[in-house]
Structure 1
Amino acid sequence: MVVSAHPEASRVGLEIMSKGGNAYDATVATQFALAVVFPEAGNIGGGGFTVYRSSDGETGSIDYREIAPAAASATMYQDSEANVIAGLSTNGHLAVGIPGTVDGMVKLHQKFGVLPWAEVVQPAIDLARNGVVLTQREADGLNNMRDAFLKINKHIPYLTEKQNWQAGDTLFHGELAQTLERIRDEGREGFYGGKTAELLVQEMKQGKGIISKDDLANYSSAWRKPLEGTYKGYKVISMAPPSSGGIALLQLLTMVEPYDLSKYKWQSAEAVQLITEAERRVYADRATYLGDPDFVKVPTQELLNRTYMGERLSTFTMERATPSSEVKAGNLLFAESDQTTHFSIVDPMGNAVSTTTTLNGNYGSKVVVKGAGFLLNNEMDDFSAKPGVPNMFGLVGGEANAIAPGKRMLSSMTPTILEKDGKLFMVVGTPGGSTIITSVFQTILNVLEHNMTMQQAVAAPRFHHQWLPDVIQYEPDAISPAVRTTLENKGYKLEPRKPYGRVDAILVLPNGKLEAGADPRGDDAAAGF
């Protein structure tokens, strides 16, 4: 089974497995397909994380997060008076981190793939050459970005070919197809060297970006040991830093574990309050301690110590809200956009892969590499631009996440796998920027505590608290009017927000069959056999 953000990408992954490929082959094929059919977040010009569990229970992960170029500096987004320059870290060439996706996919395939590399890349090439029929959502997305594409690029990107894209139009990706063919034929060198690298560096020079040929040549994804913890008999496997997702998810689950959540009704005042207070404390810790482990010491063991987490929640009382001003944390603010994508895969042998990948913002930096046809990320915005300056999403980070050459920026991506009694139980993850962690957390609780099916758990309305701003954000129908009144009387501030996140998950049923959860908030689709 494959569950991804686009029906065509899910189909590609499924066909690879039906030809005898495994979950790792399908991951590579799905990733490249998403770069074609889901350009707002699917990518070869971005990065991400993959957590895996083999059929024999071996677990691991690969980090292909973007890296700051060698010419990057801690003050690169500030003017001469040390003021942060609006938009510099989010739009255009200076916002781009060194892409990691292609290197990550090459390494994953080299280690675990069984089909030839060319065979797993070819479906994306076919999609690019034959064209992709746009849904209404995709047409609207391209139309909304048209002015930005034309303003930021020094050439006219093919994504603006039509003045007004409509559902049913076919979008052809000719230059991207050529780039993918170079990756098919030359592997890693087809992206980080040769013509593609020349085109990328030329694009950087045109737009005063700072990525060099050496930056591309020197990029390397990293194998990392995933974080593992338990929740009421379930083993939880998730991503280690530089993603904050795994630590934060394990902290949240551990903090609420002593409580009988199944006794509370779903989204009752007690449940919302408990989850909010746990989220408040976890995001405060995230702000202070987390960053790239190759640059700063991340106190993982201390943060996941059960005694420590019990103490963190000891100041919680059902009688009132704990204001975020009373919860200690760091002092740097930074943003993280919510345009990411996630897919979950389980193959016939029982290998499972959970992958979250991103350009960061919607269509990344909006820069389309001239002659190569792919979008570049704006991942540099995930660093802390300057102490004390709030960015548009209001997430807070510490010195651990300051910009430095060769450093990976902090992420919230939370690709996760659960086991029960030594067997695969769930594969889950989502896009959503700062809301990723809480969306994965609540989806897991929906299944384990509220007996929802996978689809029900994914579709259920969600709410979110991230320490600062000190507010519970909730989707339509997530919190009833009566519960809102109860919470407000206890001192909580609540704000409605549009639906967020697109959780794509797979549940292994007791009979061994797979049940998909494809998020109705998007065009997400499951495919299985």
Structure 2
Amino acid sequence: MVRFKKIIAIMLSVSLCTTFTVGCSKKEDNKQEVEKDKLQIEKVEMPSTGIVSDGNGWELWDKDDHTTTDKRGAVGENAVVASGKYEASQAGLEIIKAGGNAVDAAVATGFALCVVEPNATGIAGGGCMVIRNQDGTSTYIDFRETAPSAANPYMWNLDSEGIDIDKANENGGKSVAVPGQVAGLIYVFEKYGSGNLTLEEVMTPAINLAQNGYYVTPSLLKDMLSVEEMMQKYPELKKLILNKDGSYYKVGDLYKSEKLAQTLKLIAKNGKDAFYTGDIAKSIVDSAKKYGGIITLEDLKNYKVVESKPVEGTYRGKKIISSSLPSSGGTHVIQSLNVLENFDMSKYGLYSPERFHLLSETFKMVYADRAEYMGDKEFIDVPESGILSKDYAKKLANKIDMNKSQVPTKDDPWIYEHEDTTHYSVADKDGNIVTATQTINWTFGSGVVVDDYGFVLNNEISDFSTDINSPNRVESGKKPLSSMSPTIILNEDDTPFMVVGSPGGSRIIPAITQVISNVIDYNMGIQESIDAYRMYDNTEDKIVYEGGLSKETIKKLESMGHVVEQYVDGYNKYFGGVQGILYENGKLTGGADSRRDGKAEGI
């Protein structure tokens, strides 16, 4: 067992992290409290302003507060952690240095992201994870949020077009689903961690970041500013986001969350029960109920992590392992690649009209299938193996006319039966691989804050359809459909080749598909693949892109019948935030996305 004094020494080397001594907690009068004489954090006064930097020349933003785009990657011989935040990647790396494996590091990274990305994730969110163990086995961990027991498809006040007039499915207490984040991370730590470290040790970086602070980035500030209207509805959110004097933070300001630090200490000591029972659980229920919520103590107590087989496929000889339902992402990434496999993609330029046309036609058909067939398999029958079928993909590929755009239509896979969010990828030299996507759904989730404990509740109910005939309609205990696509790719001999995943809502599937194609079809490195401009299309039949297209290419696509729209001139987080790792030349090469605050770190 690695002793905790080693953790203390290691954590001293991490900017923004300081030491603390682990003790225990007690319950009195059904209230969880921290024994302050035994569980302490040595407070280190951080500068009130600063910048996120690795100390080796890389800085996250420039003098004009513009996010930089270079030096996001990293190379390691022993391990690489690629996540949406530098501090979180550092947290995972320090756990590797302390004797942990990739799973330990992923848990540390996941909890750290719950602190430093409150706009995108948190302990009251959920997610999914794919693990490849060093013995060659793979597993899928589903810790998605579930609908409360009182939820039903008739709980909305709908207009004639099926839109919730009150927007109660989008924010407020009724939009809150039962969180799975804490249960999921603790589950994988207990079952697949190295056994060298305790939960308290692995959560040390997250607790330090909450207690001692981290710096507000341009990206985080933008999201803080974007929820001004929601802050007026939920005063607890305003208190969480703004300075004590009611002003907004500025880029580079130190942001602390001491209430969250105390909450994480309780979880570190008492495990899952600290969150799902007792005083924290009661505060979750009361906070949601104040704004119309229907979640109960029994809902929290009964939450279960689900472990199952990941979906599998192949692309040009490489084995694809990804998330299964209720995340549709893995299935549709494989389906997209199955369709593209029928074409020699490498003969088309990266930003050519032919490639964008093929991507557009493929994604339109994939999203038509997603809308028609996909949902929680515990509640509906899904033609999953049909959608994954190479024969079905061949049928779809044959529909593509290389000279014109076509309106997307659903087909029949049954006959082949036989914006916000965050992501991190971790790999170690022993062959352990973890790729995970986690979220509170929209920016700052439901807007409802558990004020006593310093965290935001998710609004995952908005991922359900309000259409009572949809396979993704809300029902008691059901999990909403997702696009999360944490993916592992192996060589033909089953050795690791690549790890990849992304946030981005419905744009996740196209983002992951394009990055995989960039690496395999165009022989690009992981960082170069992530840096390449992306496009998006779905059943709306419109190519939305961020850059790279010439006037000639746009004109050609339009002549084929495509509607082409530039979303932004340059990178934008609308198109995801991919974090990936590529195995090459005996080393691990990490890539991270500058569309957000991503940074890879390696040793």
TM-score, normalization: structure 2? 0.82
Q: Aligned residue for 1:361?
A: 442
Contact 1:288 1:329 (8 Å CA) reproduced: no
Alignment match of 1:437 (pick from 493, 509, 516)? 509
Alignment match of 2:299 (pick from 207, 215, 220)? 215
Quote how far apart the aligned CAs of 1:476 are: 2.4
Q: Aligned residue for 2:567?
A: 497
* Percent pairwise identity: 41
Alignment match of 2:125 (pick from 28, 39, 46)? 46
The question of 1:406 aligning with 2:488 is answered: no
- In structure 1, the gaps of 5 or more residues are 331-337, 388-397
Amino acid of the structure 1 residue aligned with 2:218 = Q
Q: Aligned residue for 2:368?
A: 284
Alignment match of 1:470 (pick from 541, 552, 557)? 541
Contact 2:115 2:210 (8 Å CA) reproduced: yes
Quote how far apart the aligned CAs of 1:329 are: 8.8
Q: Aligned residue for 1:99?
A: 179
The question of 1:173 aligning with 2:253 is answered: no
Q: Deviations over 1:420-451 (max 9, x none)?
A: 12110111010111110000000000111112
The question of 1:239 aligning with 2:290 is answered: no
Single out whichever of 428-437 and 149-158 deviates more from structure 2.
Answer: 149-158
| Distance in structure 2 (CA, Å) of the matches to 1:448 and 1:377 | 36
Quote how far apart the aligned CAs of 1:80 are: 9.1
Amino acid of the structure 1 residue aligned with 2:583 = V
Q: Aligned residue for 1:394?
A: none
Quote how far apart the aligned CAs of 1:328 are: 5.3
The question of 1:164 aligning with 2:243 is answered: no
Aligned in 2, Cα 1:513/1:427: closer, same or farther, shift over 3 Å? same
The question of 1:371 aligning with 2:443 is answered: no
Quote how far apart the aligned CAs of 1:3 are: 0.6
The question of 1:383 aligning with 2:453 is answered: no
| Distance in structure 2 (CA, Å) of the matches to 1:379 and 1:204 | 13
Q: Aligned residue for 1:395?
A: none
| Distance in structure 1 (CA, Å) of the matches to 2:396 and 2:349 | 24
| Distance in structure 1 (CA, Å) of the matches to 2:410 and 2:550 | 27
Q: Aligned residue for 2:84?
A: 5
Amino acid of the structure 2 residue aligned with 1:225 = K
The question of 1:523 aligning with 2:597 is answered: yes
| Distance in structure 2 (CA, Å) of the matches to 1:351 and 1:274 | 35
Amino acid of the structure 2 residue aligned with 1:314 = N
| Distance in structure 2 (CA, Å) of the matches to 1:131 and 1:150 | 25
Single out whichever of 256-265 and 72-81 deviates more from structure 2.
Answer: 72-81
Quote how far apart the aligned CAs of 1:495 are: 1.2
| Corresponding residue SS for 1:484 | helix
Single out whichever of 131-140 and 282-291 deviates more from structure 2.
Answer: 131-140
Quote how far apart the aligned CAs of 1:79 are: 4.9
| Distance in structure 1 (CA, Å) of the matches to 2:338 and 2:151 | 38
RMSD: 1.7
Aligned in 2, Cα 1:153/1:329: closer, same or farther, shift over 3 Å? farther
| Distance in structure 2 (CA, Å) of the matches to 1:107 and 1:494 | 45
| Distance in structure 2 (CA, Å) of the matches to 1:19 and 1:185 | 19
Q: Which structure 2 residues correspond to residues 80-91 of structure 1 after superposition, within 5 A? A: 84-91=164-171
The question of 1:21 aligning with 2:100 is answered: yes
- In structure 2, the gaps of 5 or more residues are 1-79, 414-418
Q: Aligned residue for 1:461?
A: 533
Q: Aligned residue for 1:343?
A: 424
Q: Deviations over 1:21-63 (max 9, x none)?
A: 0111111111111111111112111110000111221111100
Contact 2:157 2:166 (8 Å CA) reproduced: no
Amino acid of the structure 1 residue aligned with 2:367 = Y
| Distance in structure 2 (CA, Å) of the matches to 1:260 and 1:274 | 11
TM-score, normalization: structure 1? 0.93
Alignment match of 1:134 (pick from 216, 228, 231)? 216
Alignment match of 2:234 (pick from 135, 144, 152)? 152
Contact 2:342 2:394 (8 Å CA) reproduced: no
Q: Aligned residue for 2:206?
A: 124
Q: Aligned residue for 1:481?
A: 551
The question of 1:248 aligning with 2:248 is answered: no
Query: Rg bigger for which structure?
Result: 2
Contact 1:7 1:525 (8 Å CA) reproduced: yes
Single out whichever of 192-201 and 158-167 deviates more from structure 2.
Answer: 158-167
